[in-house]
């Protein structure tokens, strides 16, 4: 009511001011009450002094105001001007004026009248808002008079506060419990609440000022003095009441005595503080609310620094993102959170800890609390890392041992008949002298000599006296392996590298890692494999067949051959650059016929070896048989001598070994055999020359009408076979076009 009177007084005053300007005959303000469909009523009007046509002016002004209120637009007709009175929220009415002269309504004057109408609308809006608030409070007061009787009957503690948080009402149970506490709260200043425990006042005042400034429900816990002077813990749950515009007009709060619960929690926390484990708790929203004393001592920080999310400052920067993500995921899902993260200890060192937090749920399955513990597992992690390193080393040694065992089993199957080098001839001593000089080095050795002279035995002697003696000695005979598989045998292959390659296979070079590889009959290597071997000698790396990854190798290479490699180079079947890489330290083993002094020693060695193996007692060899063996040229060298002695031991029936001369005569080279050999060599040379000439004319082509097979008058398959047996490289003729 007071606000309505104030509005009418304001409107009347505005009309009076306008008619005193000197150029307006009449001023009127029509009020619409917010409904454009109803006819506006004249709230106030003022006629300028000396004006006589008052009735006519009123009627014209009423019509103009009605038009403005309906259209919310400025109306102007001759000497009358009507402007809407409106704000952002609503249209209040119209300001209508009559001028002495229509020309008085120039733009500047109209703009002034607009400003007057706008200012008037703002003032009317404020008066209307105040009126509504007072009306709402009056209604609440009327309702609360009945509600308060009901609240007094409730056994719980109920309080009502105004929008600023000042207490307006406390129900009977509260007053009975606290005595004059309510009066003290009502009379307290804005900076203190005397019924609140002194230790809680600062916190409560800061929290309540912040929370009452908002419009959302909240909760507070603090100690309040009972009428007997004892301070007890209460939990206040506060909820707002809003008007139609969303403004808070009342705060309703309920208070619950939680003093005994707090004491029980304190007792429990005292017990928890005595637990040697690091214990923590958190609210359902994820804010940590407790760390036991063991935790605080471990990190050397006060409780206040860790509460909420403050604990994250102690997590290692590289781990904080992970543990926070896990914690938020557990909060969202309600599942247990378990994560490892490094925590800064009181001495500044970061230690790996296992954090495990589990939820406590109510009967409805809603999480009401989180309980967790943390364990220092740094020593365990270090032990695990150390153990893993040891396991890795064991696995590495196991793999190496596996490779060496494979090589060892292979070597046992292919071991030479020799257990040691036998002989003291000058020729053999010269070889052993060279062996003793080259063995301590890593130089590549090329051993040459006739078949059966013991080239592998010399290679083993070099390995045995080198610094690689404790590692594998791997032997491979190139003449015993199909040409298409030599590369796979030496360098290994990947799964699926060729038909039949069902799994990955390690090559001899990998098996010999750190040791020695003996490549026998190196002259039999195909040209493409020679290139790969050259790469190993130059760069100490290779690739498995079918693979793309380069493998580093640390292997000493000893090669052997009974072929004339210089002639093979001249014939184009052996690479000269590979020869020079292999021929770093050449050792030529003399044939047995040039070691006559060693034959008796070798005979005695083999007789003893095979007699013991056969379980017989043989004391020696007859003089005739000895002379026979010494005079024999031994084209098969020591291997042939071994076979003769083994056969003789098997057939011997006395303690003296005798040799059947027929065993030697059948193998003695004759002039006819020599002649046949020379003829065979000549025929081979002529055949080679004919095939190479045909390939040269056909530019390396074998099959087809223009191929070398047709030119030579033989099947293609036969020509291909001869090309392979004669080791002719047909590709070199394709460039001669």
In CATH, the architecture of 262-376 is 2-Layer Sandwich (3.30)
CB 588 within 8 A of CB 434: no
CB 475 within 8 A of CB 518: yes
Which segment of 262-276, 531-545, 594-608 scores lowest on mean pLDDT?
Answer: 262-276
Question: What is the reported pLDDT for 583?
Answer: 93
Question: What is the reported pLDDT for 154?
Answer: 65
pLDDT tens by residue, 631-688: 889 888 888 888 999 998 888 888 888 888 888 855 444 444 455 556 667 777 788 8
CB 100 within 8 A of CB 25: yes
pLDDT tens by residue, 492-522: 888 877 777 778 888 899 899 999 999 999 9
pLDDT tens by residue, 90-105: 788 888 888 877 777 7
Measured distance CA(388)–CA(37) in Å, rounded: 89
The residue ranking higher by pLDDT, 334 or 214, is 334
Instruction: Mention every residue, 6+ apart, whose C-beta is less than 8 A from residue 222.
Output: 196, 197, 200, 203, 204, 233, 234, 236
Q: What is the DSSP string of 634-657?
A: -TTHHHHHHHHHHHHHHH--SSEE
Question: What is the reported pLDDT for 411?
Answer: 54
242-247: average pLDDT: 80
Measured distance CA(238)–CA(241) in Å, rounded: 10
Question: What is the reported pLDDT for 448?
Answer: 94
pLDDT tens by residue, 354-389: 999 999 888 888 888 898 888 888 888 888 888 888
Question: What is the reported pLDDT for 137?
Answer: 67
Measured distance CA(607)–CA(654) in Å, rounded: 13
C-alpha atoms less than 13 angstroms from C-alpha of 214 in its C-beta half-sphere: 9
Which segment of 574-578, 591-595, 663-667, 679-683 scores lowest on mean pLDDT?
Answer: 663-667
CB count, 10 Å around CB of 268? 11
Tokens describing residue 180: 């004059």
- pLDDT greater than 90 at residue 480: no
Closest alpha carbon to 633 in 678, 669, 676, 674: 669
Instruction: Mention every residue, 6+ apart, whose C-beta is less than 8 A from residue 596.
Output: 425, 630
- pLDDT greater than 60 at residue 189: no
In CATH, the architecture of 593-669 is Orthogonal Bundle (1.10)
C-alpha atoms less than 13 angstroms from C-alpha of 148 in its C-beta half-sphere: 14
Measured distance CA(295)–CA(279) in Å, rounded: 7
Q: Residue written as tokens 């044939």?
A: 591
CB 559 within 8 A of CB 582: yes
- CATH superfamily, region 2-132: GAF domain (3.30.450.40)
Q: How confident is the model at residue 476 (pLDDT cuts 50, 70, 90)?
A: very high
At residue 275, the 3 state secondary structure works out as coil
Element (H, E) at 630: helix 623-631
Question: What is the reported pLDDT for 458?
Answer: 93
Question: What is the reported pLDDT for 463?
Answer: 93
- pLDDT greater than 80 at residue 52: no
Mind spelling out the 3-state secondary structure of 550-600? CEECCCEEEEEECCCHHHHHHCCCCCHHHHHHHCCEEEECCCHHHCHHHHH
Question: What is the reported pLDDT for 554?
Answer: 92
Cα 293–296–302 angle (5° rounding)? 115
- pLDDT greater than 50 at residue 223: yes
Question: What is the reported pLDDT for 192?
Answer: 38
The residue ranking higher by pLDDT, 283 or 88, is 283
The residue ranking higher by pLDDT, 20 or 254, is 254
Question: What is the reported pLDDT for 421?
Answer: 83
Mind spelling out the 3-state secondary structure of 429-448? HHHHHHHHHHCCCCCCEEEE
The residue ranking higher by pLDDT, 72 or 136, is 72
- pLDDT greater than 70 at residue 535: yes
Instruction: Mention every residue, 6+ apart, whose C-beta is less than 8 A from residue 153.
Output: 172
- In order of 150, 386, 387, 392, 446, the CA distances from 395 in angstroms are 82, 14, 12, 5, 35
- pLDDT greater than 50 at residue 193: yes
Closest alpha carbon to 81 in 36, 27, 121: 27
At residue 171, the 3 state secondary structure works out as coil
Which segment of 34-38, 217-221, 306-310, 730-734 scores lowest on mean pLDDT?
Answer: 34-38
CB 191 within 8 A of CB 210: no
Question: What is the reported pLDDT for 270?
Answer: 63
- The rounded percent of the chain whose pLDDT value lies above 70 is 84
Q: How confident is the model at residue 417 (pLDDT cuts 50, 70, 90)?
A: very low
The residue ranking higher by pLDDT, 272 or 113, is 113
Which segment of 57-71, 341-355, 404-418, 473-487 scores lowest on mean pLDDT?
Answer: 404-418
Would you mind telling me the total number of residues written for the chain in this entry? 737
The residue ranking higher by pLDDT, 6 or 431, is 431
CB 42 within 8 A of CB 62: yes
CB 414 within 8 A of CB 475: yes
Phi, psi of 251 (to 5 degrees): -120, 125
Statement: 154-257 belongs to CATH 3.30.450.20: yes
At residue 76, the 3 state secondary structure works out as strand
Q: Among the ranges 53-67, 253-267, 324-338, which has the highest mean pLDDT value?
A: 324-338
The residue ranking higher by pLDDT, 548 or 37, is 548
Q: At what angle do helices 637-651 and 599-614 cross, to 10 degrees?
A: 40
Closest alpha carbon to 250 in 350, 332, 141, 355: 141
Q: How confident is the model at residue 415 (pLDDT cuts 50, 70, 90)?
A: very low
C-alpha atoms less than 13 angstroms from C-alpha of 252 in its C-beta half-sphere: 11
- In order of 165, 282, 283, 475, 503, the CA distances from 325 in angstroms are 39, 16, 17, 59, 44
- pLDDT greater than 60 at residue 42: no
Measured distance CA(722)–CA(733) in Å, rounded: 16
**b/e map 490-505, b = 16+ CB within 10 Å:** bbbbbeebeeeeeeeb
Q: In this structure, which topology does domain 414-590 adopt according to CATH?
A: Rossmann fold (3.40.50)
Tokens describing residue 352: 């790996």
Question: What is the reported pLDDT for 188?
Answer: 40
CB 438 within 8 A of CB 585: yes
Q: Across the chain, how many H-helices and E-strands are there?
A: 25, 26
């Amino acid at each position: 009511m007071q606000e309505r009177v104030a509005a009418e007084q304001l409107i009347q005053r505005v009309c009076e001011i306008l008619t005193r300007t000197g150029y307006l005959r009449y001023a009127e303000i029509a009020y619409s009450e917010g409904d454009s469909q109803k006819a506006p009523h004249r709230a106030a009007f003022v006629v300028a002094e000396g004006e006589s046509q008052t009735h006519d002016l009123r009627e014209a002004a009423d019509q103009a105001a009605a038009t403005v209120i309906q259209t919310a637009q400025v109306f102007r007709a001759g000497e009358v001007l009507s402007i809407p009175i409106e704000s952002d929220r609503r249209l209040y009415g119209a300001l209508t004026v009559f001028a002495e002269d229509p020309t008085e309504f120039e733009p500047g004057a109209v703009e002034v009248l607009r400003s007057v109408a706008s200012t008037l609308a703002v003032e009317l809006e404020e008066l209307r808002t105040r009126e509504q608030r007072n009306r709402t409070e009056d209604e609440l007061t009327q309702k609360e008079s009945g509600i308060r009787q009901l609240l007094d009957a409730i056994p719980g503690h109920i309080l009502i506060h105004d929008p600023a948080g000042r207490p307006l009402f406390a129900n009977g149970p509260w007053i009975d419990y606290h005595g004059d506490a309510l009066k003290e709260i009502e009379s307290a200043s804005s900076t203190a609440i005397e019924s609140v425990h002194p230790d809680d006042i600062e916190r409560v005042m800061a929290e309540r000022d912040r929370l009452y400034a908002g419009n959302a429900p909240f909760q507070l816990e603090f100690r309040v003095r009972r009428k007997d002077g004892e301070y007890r813990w209460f939990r206040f749950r506060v909820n707002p009441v809003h008007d139609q515009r969303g403004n808070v007009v009342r705060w309703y709060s309920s208070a619950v005595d939680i003093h005994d619960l707090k004491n029980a929690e304190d007792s429990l926390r005292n017990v928890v503080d005595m637990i040697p484990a690091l214990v923590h708790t958190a609210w359902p929203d994820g804010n940590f609310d407790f760390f036991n004393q063991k935790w605080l001592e471990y990190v050397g920080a006060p409780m206040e620094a860790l509460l909420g999310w403050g604990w994250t400052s102690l997590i290692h920067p590289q781990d904080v993102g992970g543990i926070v993500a896990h914690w938020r995921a557990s909060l969202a899902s309600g599942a247990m959170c378990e994560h490892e993260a490094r925590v800064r200890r009181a001495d500044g060192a970061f230690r790996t800890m296992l954090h495990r937090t589990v939820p406590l749920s109510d009967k409805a399955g809603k999480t009401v609390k989180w309980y967790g513990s943390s364990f220092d597992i740094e020593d365990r992690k270090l032990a695990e890392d150390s153990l893993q390193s040891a396991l890795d080393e064991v696995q590495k040694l196991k793999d190496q041992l596996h490779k060496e065992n494979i090589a060892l089993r292979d070597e046992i199957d292919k071991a030479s008949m020799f257990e040691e080098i036998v002989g003291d001839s000058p020729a053999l001593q010269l070889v052993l002298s060279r062996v003793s000089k080259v063995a301590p080095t890593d130089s590549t050795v090329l051993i040459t000599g006739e078949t059966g002279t013991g080239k592998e035995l010399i290679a083993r002697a070099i390995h045995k006296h080198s610094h690689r003696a404790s590692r594998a000695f791997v032997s491979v005979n190139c003449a015993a392996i199909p040409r298409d598989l030599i590369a796979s045998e030496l360098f290994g292959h990947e799964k699926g590298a060729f038909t039949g390659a069902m799994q990955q296979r390690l090559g001899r070079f990998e098996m010999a890692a750190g040791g020695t590889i003996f490549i026998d009959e190196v002259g039999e290597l195909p040209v493409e494999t020679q290139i790969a071997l050259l790469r190993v000698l130059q760069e100490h790396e290779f690739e498995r067949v079918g693979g793309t990854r380069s493998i580093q190798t640390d292997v000493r290479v000893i090669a052997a051959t009974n072929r004339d490699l210089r002639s093979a180079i001249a014939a184009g079947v052996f690479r000269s650059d590979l020869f020079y890489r292999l021929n770093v330290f050449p050792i030529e083993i003399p044939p047995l016929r040039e070691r006559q002094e060693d034959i008796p020693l070798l005979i005695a060695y083999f007789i003893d070896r095979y007699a013991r193996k056969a379980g017989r007692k043989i004391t020696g060899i007859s003089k005739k048989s000895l002379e026979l063996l010494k005079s024999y040229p031994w084209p098969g060298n020591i291997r042939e001598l071994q076979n003769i002695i083994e056969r003789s031991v098997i057939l011997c029936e006395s303690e003296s070994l005798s040799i059947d001369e027929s065993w030697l005569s059948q193998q003695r080279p004759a002039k006819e055999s020599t002649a046949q050999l020379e003829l065979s060599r000549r025929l081979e040379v002529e055949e080679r020359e004919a095939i190479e000439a045909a390939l040269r004319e056909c530019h390396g082509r074998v099959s087809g009408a223009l191929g070398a097979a047709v030119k030579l008058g033989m099947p293609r398959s036969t020509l291909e076979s001869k090309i392979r047996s004669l080791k002719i490289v047909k590709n070199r003729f394709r460039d001669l076009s």
